[in-house]
Amino acid sequence: MGAARSRPVVLDAGALIAFGALRGLRRTADIVDASVVLLAKRHDAVVVTSDPDDLRKLDDSIELITC
């Protein structure tokens, strides 16, 4: 068994709109933060981050580990 390869991710218009809507509601500019929050919520995941403040602006209920 070889090492797992990363796979590309393709976002449809609905995903892009959801990211943009979340950013607009919370008045943030970073689409990556929005995608991290939405994916963490969808998969009930813990997020490891060095930028907890920006992620908390988007959703203060996600579980964060700060590094």
* Token pair belonging to 23: 């950013």
* Token pair belonging to 35: 């995608």
pLDDT in tens, 3-58: 677 676 677 788 777 777 777 776 766 778 888 888 888 889 999 998 899 889 88
In a domain, 23, yes or no: no
In a domain, 18, yes or no: no
pLDDT on residue 35: 83
Residue 41 backbone phi and psi in degrees, to 5: -65, -45
pLDDT on residue 61: 94
Beta strands in the chain (DSSP E): 47-49, 64-66
pLDDT on residue 54: 85
Q: Which residues on adjacent β-strands are paired with residue 49?
A: 66
In a domain, 66, yes or no: yes
pLDDT on residue 57: 86
In a domain, 54, yes or no: yes
In a domain, 60, yes or no: yes
Q: Cβ distance 51 to 36 under 8 Å?
A: no
Q: Which domain holds residue 46?
A: 33-67
Whether the pTM exceeds 0.85: the reply is no
Length of the chain: 67
In a domain, 50, yes or no: yes
pLDDT on residue 52: 92
Domain count, the chain: 1
